[in-house]
Amino acid sequence: MNPSTSASAAKLGTRVRVPSRLVPALSLLVGVATWELIGRIWDVSFFPALSEVVAQLVELIRDGRILGNLSASLTNLASGFGISVVAGIVIGVAMGMIPIVNSALDVYVYALLTAPSLVFAPIFFSIFGLGRGSIVALIVVYAVFIIIINTADGVRSVPIELIEMAQTYNASRFQIARRVILPAAMPMIMAGLRIGVSRAVKGMINGEMFIAVVGLGRVVTEAGGRFDAASVLAVLLVIIAVAWAASAVVQIIDRRLTSWLPEVNRG
């Protein structure tokens, strides 16, 4: 390739370069257009066009079938994920700091993480009955183990020099955990929370569909029974929005808690 051709290619590459901030918006726009186009060309009942789905979503909101059920679902999600965060960080820190605790719990944590979480639904139903307790318990099973693993790995990855420096100042074990280990492990902990919150949303909708038939899961189940694909996809959009919003909240907290870190070192 001669120099003039190389220069022309470089100029062309510069011209078509798109700002990185616009890429997600452009990708979403392409996805929306593709969905609408396929839905209209294919013209089948089980894959309606996006415009039909949005129109059905508006109708569900007007009928009150979304907002009331959304409130119930968010309550379940907040309860289950809150328990997962507290239990996950406490157990993860204990596993990361105390070898005997790690040896005792490691096999159970990884086994329960890899097991299909939905199989616990009938177990929780038999224990807690047909109510919120079963759904919250299932959300915890979905979310807590990934938080435990990330927290434990974050604690174990703290440089030993930092701990030894704190020990030279006669810091207690609690002070070392609070002022050295937790701040240093925070990027890994927050990475676990970001994954955990998405898993919690899955646990929420699965619990509502297969245990108590409440919240958004109830709307999906009823629409599925009527073979109403537009309503199912409309509720799916709401569930995706809930997952996105929950993840955004965790990311905001992450930025505040790890703002002291260099940008390249954040989880």
- pLDDT (tens digit, 9 = 90+) per residue, 133-170? 999 999 999 999 999 999 999 999 988 888 888 888 88
| pLDDT, tens digit, 9 for 90 and up, residues 26-43 | 888 888 888 889 888 887
What average pLDDT does range 171-175 have in this prediction? Answer: 83
Q: What is the mean pLDDT of residues 62-75?
A: 89
Contact 136, 72 (CB under 8 A): no
Return the pLDDT at 171: 83
The pLDDT score that the predictor gives to residue 264 is 47
pLDDT band, very low/low/confident/very high, at 265 (cuts 50, 70, 90) = very low
Residue partners of 42: CB distance under 8 A and separation at least 6: none
pLDDT of residue 35: 86
Q: What's this model's pTM, rounded to 2 decimal places? A: 0.83
Q: Which of 80-94, 145-159, 252-266 has the lowest mean pLDDT?
A: 252-266
Q: Provide mean pLDDT across the span 206-225.
A: 86
What would the DSSP string read from start to end of 149-218? HHHHHHHHTS-HHHHHHHHHTT--HHHHIIIIIHHHHHHHHHHHHHHHHHHHHHHHHHHIIIII--HHHH
Residue 15: which pLDDT band, with cuts at 50, 70 and 90? Answer: low
The DSSP secondary-structure symbol of 261 reads S
Model confidence at 82: pLDDT above 50: yes
76 has a pLDDT exceeding 90: yes
pLDDT of residue 65: 85
CATH 3.10.620.30 fits domain 50-265: no
* Listed residue (87, 197, 105) closest to 142, CA to CA: 197
Please choose, from the candidates 18, 10, 173, the residue with its C-alpha nearest in 3D space to the C-alpha of residue 96. Answer: 173
Lowest mean pLDDT across 9-18, 25-34, 80-89, 257-266: 9-18
The rounded distance, in Å, linking the Cα atoms of 14 and 10 is: 6
**Residue 4 or 127, more confident:** 127
In single-letter form, the type of residue at position 94 comes to: A
Integer Cα distance of 227 and 125 in angstroms: 27
Answer whether residue 74 shows pLDDT above 80: yes
Is the pLDDT confidence value at 238 over 70? yes
Dihedral sign from CA coordinates of 146, 149, 155, 159: negative
Mean pLDDT of the chain: 86
Specify the pLDDT at position 18: 63
Q: Which residue has the higher pLDDT, 6 or 51?
A: 51
The two three-digit tokens of residue 69, written as one number: 């059920």
Q: Measure Cα distances from 239 to 53, 92, 203 in Å.
A: 14, 29, 12
Tell me the sheet residues that pair with 44: 47
